[in-house]
Structure 1
Amino acid sequence: MEPFSFATSESLHHPVSIRIINLEGDEPPLPPSTQFENAELRHVGSNSSPHSDLYVTAQVWAGSKPLTVPVQTAYKSFRTERRWNEWLTLPINYSALPLNSCLAITLWDSSPAGGKDAEGLAIPFGGTTLPLFDRDNQVQKGRQKCHVHRRKIADGHDKTTTPAVIRRRTRSHGKRGEQAPLGKDAEEMERLEGLFKKHEMGEIPRVDWLDQLVFRTVERRGLQSAKGSHRTLQRRQGAQDSAAEKDGANGGSPDPESYHRSLYQLNVELPRFDFPVVFADLEYPPPPISSLQNMSGSQSNVALKPPPEVQFGPGINSLDNSSAGFGSRLVKVYDPEVGAKDNPAEAKHRRLVRSQHRHGVLDKDLKPNAKVRDELNVIMSYSPNHILNTEEKDLVWKFRYHLTRDKRAVTKFVKSVNWHDPSERKQAEQVLARWTEIDVDDALELLGPTFDSQVVRAYAVERLRKADDHELLLYLLQLVQALKYEHISPDSTQDATRDSSLARFLIARAAANFTLGNYFHWYLMVECDDNSPEQGTQNREMYRKVAYDFMTELVKQPDGAETRGTLLRQAELIAILSRISGEVKLSHESIPKKTERVKRFLADPKNEVATIDPPLPLPLDPSVHVIGVSPDETTVFKSSLCPIKVTFRTTQGTTYPIIFKTGDDLRQDQLVIQIITLMDQLLQKENLDLKLSPYKILATSTTAGASQFVPSVSFQSIPSALAYLKSHSPDSRQPLGLRQETLDTYVKSCAGYCVITYILGVGDRHLDNLLLAPDGHFFHADFGFILGRDPKPFAPVMKLSKEMVDCMGGVNSEHFKMFKQYCFLAYAALRKSSNLILNLFSLMVDANIPDIRFEPDKAVLKVRERFHLELNEEDAMLYFDRVIEDALGAIAPVVIDKLHELVQAFRA
């Protein structure tokens, strides 16, 4: 068979349109006697002129019901013929059309006196109903001749009374209601019109010189046929007139409808397509499945909301109710658990396909050709949250041995395995053992909630063992969250680490390194303190069990007892600070009195913070050993939570100020600072030092925490950033009067934070949380809104204010050009590590972070959108250049900053 190219209607997202060309036909004028007896006929426009003004309406119908509102032609004055030549576009696409769709086309005449089916001052001149699909279920296209049924509105019903095409009979038996043939000439003209349409659609080859001869000949024949048809109609009309007069003589009245039997044709045109468009029913997606998904074993500890209560509909219990009987109505209820199960046909197909690829010699030596290799490369480039379809999974499984040399393919291979099939699971474990060493980002992905196999998770942990303590500290926050997806029993009689390779690994590394152990301990304490419904009792008990096993392992170390005592002393210090912070927050004293109260409290020897002996590693930064507090350097900030600045004295003879506050959950700020620290490390690996200064922050509970205090000023508190920096680092030899090193630090740090806050979607940016250090370091504070959330309207995607640019010398300066170059370099470098950042966010989905908890299923997608991985590097840089330009030209942030300044002044 020859190839047949066609398209399906469901993929045709093009609006339905029709061109109203002209109206052909004629009818004898009404006799004066009829107009005299029917006064309303004298005012009808078509009775006064053969070329009176008409307008046309078109409407899509299906199933005897309208699908759209009617669309009408514009007003047009006719002189010699009724020709509109106007396209009408209806508000529906071809993809949404049912098979029985049709166009109801009505021509409207003017009648000030009204009449039957009148709408205002218009009465129907005639109507026609044109199906949008032909007998072969193909979309109608090209020119169409539609028979006009006089004085009728196009009904659009499935069994329409106004069809566009009337099937003529070859013979007439004189029965009433049957239409007689118009003659051989008319039939020949219909045949020629069909050929003309094929010629117009390109189905008949074009021969210009022959086509012109045929056109002239057919035109002459058409005129002869029209005259003959007109004479035939006049004879039929005369017979009807005689019958009408006879009825009038016998006491009846002549029927005005008898004077409107003339033949009218409306010429229209439908859109043309290069290929036939065949009807294909729209496949609607299945009903949404709620949170009652098939949970893997690793997700059994995740607290889910209780399933919704189901009320039985009428007839559900009819068989048990003797009064209802068997005749009661049954109600079908969609079961979401059934929708979550595997399709048995697809499962059978998968087993048949994969049974062909065992551990044979041929299978191990199987290599993809060039086309398949390109397909595999596309699969390898997918982001971590991409879901593979069945064909992609089968392809990865088929070439699994070939892919063992590609470290990127391990996560795609694990996603392609049916771990519930024992035979397939055994094969996958053997192949996984042969895989080349993977990167840390892939190992983190394998520890996520979607991977349940203990073999896979143990394989990921083995990769983490090769990371040093400094690198492991960058991911420790997420690894603690990954414990929720492990098989850890909260039963105190069992060893929590017995069945969890991740828990064993974390406890062993944290016990061997105090810095890791310090943060691991406090991360666990926060999870144990989380009493929210999202955390759940089971998770809380699990973390308590892990913390107990950590202490048990800690005392087994040579200096473990001393280390455990240090952690207990840290807890006592945090408890003392929490007590005074809570008292100050609840007191109704002025700020100076609150400050004096805190100073007296810290100086009191009974509280044991004025002097700390032996020195204590600070929980916020265990590399700093503090020996006491300097009460005179204490400050209480003017805020609703009244945070306290506490200055510690260190063993190095320096001071270390921190800000401690209660009543606020700092876990979201802690996450953002951790990601900024990680991004700084990634940029430096690319030899790009942007002078970032992420201050340390630690949540000690769900309602308290500490952060490092960095001496700085906000952009709101200084008249000019340039003047502030010049006062601390002046240099009259430089163009801006500022030391070059300070200016470079400012430009680089501005670029770094602009890119990072854009990727993380940090919101609520105003001049009060843009800080500047005397040495030129620029940084952000207060990360209460991330992932694109912002309490202010019309917030820009990136904060780049005029005050920031003026300190660089303006938008036309060389330093601003360097700022943009640093932005491009940072954005390109971070896009290379997008998988690592996305995996870290996927592990935090169940961490009870406010802005992640708001839409947990979209958290990773929001970060991924900011990377624009679908663009190549050049297009990505062009896009980010537009982001910078839009941020500079935005007016709303300027207005918001001014309003924020007025509000702060009013509060003061």
Structure 2
Amino acid sequence: MEAFNFATSLDLTELSVHVRIDRLDGNQKPVPYSVLLRRPDLRHRASITNPHFELYVTAQIWADSKPLTVPVQTAYKSFKNARVWNEWLQLPVTYSNLPASAQLAITVWDLSPAEDNDSNLHAVPFGGSTIPLFDKDNTLQKGRQRCRVHRFKAADGLTGSTTPWVIPQARRSRKAQLVEDTVDEQVTEMQRLEELLKKQEMGDLPTNTWLDGLVYKKMMKIRNEALKAEAIALNRQSNANGKNGDGVGKDEQELFYLEVEFPRFDHAVVFTDVEYPPPPVSDLRLPAEADVRLRPPPEVSFGPDIDIDGVGYGDADAGRLIKIYDPEIGRRINPAEDKHRELMRSQQTDSLDRDRKPNVHVRDKLNLLMAKGPLEEITSHERDDIWKFRYFLLRDKRALTKFVKCVNWKNPREARQAAPLLDKWAEIDVDDALELLGPHFDHPVVRSYAVERLKKADDEELQLYLLQLVQALKYEAPGEGDDSSLARFLVTRAANSFALGNFFHWYLMVEISDFSTDQEPEHRDLFAKVEYDFMVELEKTPEGVETRNSFRRQGELLTVLAKISKDVRFGGGDRPTKLARLKKALGDPKNELINFEPLPLPLDPSVYITGIYAEDCNVLKSSLLPMVLNFKTTTDTKYPIIFKTGDDLRQDQLVIQIITLMDRLLRKENLDLKLTPYRILATSTSAGAFQFVPSMSIAAACQKHKGSLLAYLRANNPDDSAPLGVRKEAMDTYIKSCAGYCVITYLLGVGDRHLDNLLLAPDGRFFHVDFGYILGRDPKPFAPQMKLCREMIEGMGGSQHANYLAFKSYAFTAWSTLRKSSNLLLNLFALMQGANIPDIKVEREGSVGKVRERMWLGRSEGEAEVLFERLIEESMGDWKAGVIDWAHEFVQTYWRK
């Protein structure tokens, strides 16, 4: 087999498409006078006036039924004996840019003084032909080509062209076959001679000047005879179907061929498409596969007897998904806009931008842009404005996060321009620094800048954000996680602060112990590496060995307590039997729980415990049977905790951390709402402890005091001289705490609120427990947005009392204050998007939006006040909430032991 040498169309990058218009062959019949009388305009047509009058030709490339270029045309030329142009036309496109479906539409135009209705030109179509530039083997056409001209039609480049260059032979009857054998012989001979002429032109046959001249004359004679014979046969096939498209030639159709020539190359040119590098499926950080698993996938049925794999499938395979690669899914940036921005910024220079100042209109736009929250999108035009006036915005600390968003950090040139500006920018707040550590910022320069800002926070403030900072380690760029600036910062600070190190250690241990499918193995390895680095760093400090020993002893204590909790929980018997088993296990010398060396309590490392009071314990009446334990402390006081197994407390831990932060934000505004952010710590994915606050549920208090919460307050804080008979300090504490928790639980969307998880301490402090449902999720239908039940209002003296007005005032002030810190709260939830927390896993990115919706950030202060007051009134009068409380109480009383 001979070797096939070829070139690709992509190799012809600088060569434009060329075609030579050679000659028009055919016999034109004179128009009868009867037709000219009916059509006077035909008298002025050039081809009718003189069979050899001038015609001109246009050529245009089409592809996929659309024009690819503008048409080009031959020069006007007078003919004597034959219509021969012999003119090369250059089309404005290169061979490398041709698609495989490219076609050349060639139209021969007849001059006419009358304007054509279709083309709006002083010319009408003499005929047209459409020839593909690549043959059926995707090889570029070359050399001489003979194209059939379709009379009175302009060539169209449609995929199913009505003016094809070759007409396939129709199936003919036996009688017609016998009549046309002679015609076929003449046409075949003409085609044979044309093929020989092509070979000679390609150099495959030798040339002989004088002999070739004689042969060429003979060939032209044969061609003319063949054209006449073919035209006669064509008219016989048409069976005299009346006039053609222009009313010319009633009894006979005219047959014309246009000869064109394409450039010849040394080798065949084969079509080759451009192979672009595969774009990323997404430039967003997609959720883990486990996140999608929470929602049932859509069912896809292929129908009966459909074989999609070539091997068939049974019922077990039915309903599987078809995954189609779509590179545009998940793209945050339009590629065209991204390219436009890159071109525009490449033309701008720092020297010009340094002195650029916005006008009044642009300054107002920038101010509105700076007021946008962290979740609001920045349009491409806004990105351009920020980049253009970046030097002007250096003094505005709010603009830094917006500037970082408008930079394409994957572009080395933009990154080199933007990085030095970060150090010159006005110092940002902590909430902005937290935003730069989120999932959408993975460039090391940006994250290092955010860490530098966090270094200025003290240990107490850093502890408020520590839970989120540990989760932020997941968002480090690939290859940076093992030695990232954030990891080094946390390890160093935790090693030099025992309280910070205590919580850092346990936050990491919980993530390391998470072997669920929702925790990525690489994240688990990352946390293990950070914990190892933390232990190594501890050894460099003076108290490092002692600190590591304390962590080891804490782990041993929690392991023993977890074992005892499981024995109590899964052991047989009623509650008294389980309580006896608990007391026996606590007092067993093997467990060494009665007395031990002073040990920092994992829940509160500022407290040193020395043992457990074995007899002073309890087993709560709950499905998981949590244990109430009283620890001995070095100050001879009791520290009660509740230890629980079988439940993941990380969601409760997150809510309490946010409540603690909100309490601090309110206190900074001199608003102490007497909140009770009790301590809580998840020690593994199925165990944890939280501080026990002596209190009573509202359900129990109302049952004890005949349905009156006011009677409970009066019994614990009597004062006959005070309004309602309750000590003023206790009533103020109750009103403020009710207002604070109503606002906080509304913002966090805490669900499953009933009278058993609303607690009240003897000094009047009201607080919530059990945060199994947050962010708007609730197991009960028709749950109110804010839990403000009838019993709570009755404890204030009723809705007509002045205390109720004070409650609404405190509530709105608290909500308005927290609303001003929306950026900080939203950024903290954004950092928790990757956490393995049930109500965040349901909709990771949507979880932040749910908090934002409840802040009504798009409303003015006045509008918000009206809406918030309406929310309180609707929650107070919600009869559905009362039905839910009654149903819950019914279940608790009659269906649970």
- Distance verdict in 2 for CA 1:375–1:302, change over 3 Å: farther
From 365, 380, 384, the equivalent of 1:390 is: 380
Residues 488 and 545 from structure 1, CA distance in 2 versus in 1: closer, same or farther, beyond 3 angstroms? Answer: farther
Contact 1:417 1:424 in 2 (8 A): yes
Task: Report deviation, 1:589.
Answer: 1.1
Equivalence map 1:299-378=2 (5 Å): 335-340=325-330, 343-360=334-351, 362-378=352-368
| 1:353 Cα deviation after fit | 2.0
User: 1:304: how far off?
Assistant: 7.5
Partner of 2:736: 748
Q: Distance in 1 between matches of 2:323 and 2:686?
A: 44
Distance of 1:291 and 1:875 partners within structure 2: 44
1:890 matched residue in structure 2: 878
CA contact (8 A) 2:282 2:328 kept: no
Q: Work out whether 1:601 is the aligned partner of 2:585.
A: yes
AA matched with 1:358: T
Among 444, 460, 485, the residue aligned to 2:450: 460
CA offsets per residue over residues 739-766 of structure 1, 9 Å max, x none?
A: 1000001000000000000000000001
Q: Residue 639 of structure 1 aligns with which residue?
A: 622
Q: Alpha-carbon deviation of 1:432?
A: 1.3
Paired position in structure 2 for 1:293: 282
TM-superposed CA distance for 1:346, in Å, is 2.1
1:448 aligns with 2:432: no
CA apart distance, 1:401: 0.9
Q: 1:233-267 CA distances to partner (integer Å, 9 max, x unpaired)?
A: xxxxxxxxxxxxxxxxxxxxxxxxxxxxxxxxxxx
Structure 1 runs not aligned, ≥5 long: 1-289, 321-331, 491-495
8 Å contact 2:386–2:403 — kept in the other structure?
yes
For 1:710, which of 683, 693, 696 is the aligned residue?
Answer: 693
Q: Distance in 1 between matches of 2:858 and 2:580?
A: 58
Q: For the Cα contact (< 8 Å) 1:527–1:540, is it kept in 2?
A: yes
Cα 1:355/1:779, change in 2 over 3 Å: same
Q: Per-residue displacement from partner, 1:761-797 (whole Å, max 9, x unpaired)?
A: 0000010011000011000000000001111111000
In structure 1, how many angstroms separate the alpha carbons of the residues matched to 2:281 and 2:768?
41
CA distance in 1, matches of 2:323, 2:557: 58
Partners of 2:299 and 2:652 lie apart in 1 by: 37
Distance (Å, rounded) in 2 between the aligned partners of 1:400 and 1:786? 40
- Whole-angstrom distance in 1 between the partners of 2:500 and 2:334: 46
Tell me the secondary structure at the aligned position of residue 574 of structure 1: helix
Q: 3-state SS of the aligned residue for 2:583?
A: helix
Match of 1:807 in 2: 795
Q: 1:641 deviation in Å?
A: 0.7
1:474 matches 2:458 = no
SS at match of 1:764: coil
Secondary structure of the residue aligned to 1:741 is: helix
Which of 842, 855, 858 does residue 870 from structure 1 map onto? 858
Q: Matches of 2:747 and 2:381 in 1, distance apart?
A: 33
Q: Give the 3-state SS of the residue equivalent to 1:718 in structure 2.
A: helix
Q: 1:419 — aligned with what?
A: 409
Q: Which amino acid aligns with 1:546?
A: V
Paired amino acid for 1:547: E
Q: Matches of 1:373 and 1:474 in 2, distance apart?
A: 36
Please tell me whether the aligned partners of residues 751 and 820 of structure 1 are also in contact (alpha carbons under 8 angstroms). Answer: yes
Alpha-carbon offset, residue 646 of structure 1:
0.6
Match of 2:638 among 632, 655, 661: 655
TM-score between the two structures when normalised by the length of structure 2: 0.64
* Map 1:618-633 → 2, pairs under 5 A: 618-633=601-616
Letter paired with 1:294: D
- Which among 644, 663, 666 is matched to residue 680 of structure 1? 663
1:759/1:304 CA distance change after superposition, 3 Å: closer
Distance 1:380 1:302, change over 3 A: farther
2:489 aligned with 1:505, yes or no? Answer: yes
- The secondary structure found in structure 2 opposite 1:460 is helix
The residue aligned with 1:831 is 819
Instruction: Compute the displacement of 1:497 (Å).
Output: 5.0
CA contact (8 A) 2:397 2:427 kept: yes
Number of corresponding residues: 595
Shift of 1:856: 1.1
**For residues 333 and 531 of structure 1, do their structure 2 counterparts lie closer, same or farther at Cα, with a shift above 3 Å needed?**
closer
> In the aligned structure 2, how far is the partner of 1:789 from the partner of 1:808?
29
**d(CA) in 1 for partners of 2:280 and 2:745?**
32
Deviation of 1:339 after TM superposition, in Å, equals: 4.5
By how many angstroms is 1:303 displaced? 7.8
State the distance in 2 between where 1:709 and 1:599 align.
Answer: 18
Query: Over alpha carbons, which structure has the higher Rg?
Result: 2
| Residue of structure 1 equivalent to 2:786 | 798
Report the Cα distance in structure 1 between the residues aligned to 2:298 and 2:327, rounded to whole angstroms.
13
CA separation of 1:819/1:372 partners in 2, compared to 1, >3 Å: closer, same or farther? same
How far apart are 1:292 and its partner, in Å?
Answer: 4.7
CA RMSD of aligned residues (A): 2.6
Q: How does 1:30-49 map to 2 (within 5 A)?
A: none
The alpha-carbon distance between structure 1 residues 292 and 717, as it changes in their structure 2 partners (threshold 3 A), is farther
1:165-184: per-residue Cα shift (whole Å, max 9, x none)?
Answer: xxxxxxxxxxxxxxxxxxxx
**TM-score under structure 1 normalisation?**
0.63
Q: Distance between the aligned counterparts of 1:293 and 1:536, measured in 2?
A: 19
Q: Which runs of 5+ in 2 are unaligned?
A: 1-278, 311-321, 703-707
Q: Is the 8 A contact 1:301 1:484 kept in 2?
A: no
Match of 1:50 in 2: none
Question: Which aligned pairs between 1:488-527 and structure 2 lie closer than 5 A?
Answer: 497-498=482-483, 500-527=484-511
Identity %: 58
SS of the aligned residue for 1:521 comes to helix
C-alpha distance in 2 between matches for 1:357 and 1:405 = 21
What SS does structure 1 have at the residue aligned with 2:402?
A: helix
Give, in angstroms, the shift of residue 874 of structure 1.
Answer: 1.1
1:840 match = 828
Q: Which residue of the partner structure matches residue 590 of structure 1?
A: 574
Alpha-carbon distance between aligned partners in 1 of 2:501 and 2:478, rounded to the nearest angstrom:
20
Question: Which residue identity does 2:622 align to in structure 1?
Answer: S
In structure 2, the CA distance between the partners of 1:431 and 1:669, relative to structure 1 (3 Å rule), is same
C-alpha distance in structure 2 between counterparts of 1:312 and 1:800, whole Å? 52
Q: How far apart, in 1, do the equivalents of 2:478 and 2:500 lie?
A: 21
Task: Give the letter for the 2:374 counterpart.
Answer: P
Counterpart in the other structure of 1:612: 596
Query: Is the 2:675–2:767 Cα contact (8 Å) retained in structure 1?
Result: yes
CA distance in 2, matches of 1:489, 1:608: 45
Question: What is the SS of the residue equivalent to 1:698?
Answer: strand
Matching of residues 183-222 of structure 1 within 5 Å: none
One-letter code of the match for 2:543?
A: D
The SS at the match of 1:626 is strand
What is the CA-CA distance between 1:302 and the residue it aligns to?
9.6
Residue 902 of structure 1: how far off its partner (Å) = 1.1
Distance 1:903 1:301, change over 3 A: closer
Query: Residues 416-441 of structure 1, C-alpha deviation per residue, up to 9 Å, x if partnerless?
Result: 00111111111110111210100000
Q: 3-state SS of the aligned residue for 2:602?
A: coil
Would you say the 8 A contact 1:488–1:542 is kept in 2? no
Over 3 Å counting, the alpha-carbon distance change for 1:699 and 1:335 in structure 2 is same
> Hey, what's the Cα distance between the residues in 2 that align with 1:815 and 1:787?
30
Confirm or deny: 8 A CA contact 1:497 1:504 kept in the other structure. Answer: no
Letter in structure 2 aligned against 1:712: S
Q: How far apart, CA to CA, are the structure 1 residues paired with 2:638 and 2:397?
A: 47
Contact 1:303 1:536 in 2 (8 A): no
In the alignment, what sits opposite 1:577?
Answer: 561
> 1:710 and 1:472, CA in 2 relative to 1: closer, same or farther beyond 3 A?
same
2:77 aligns with none
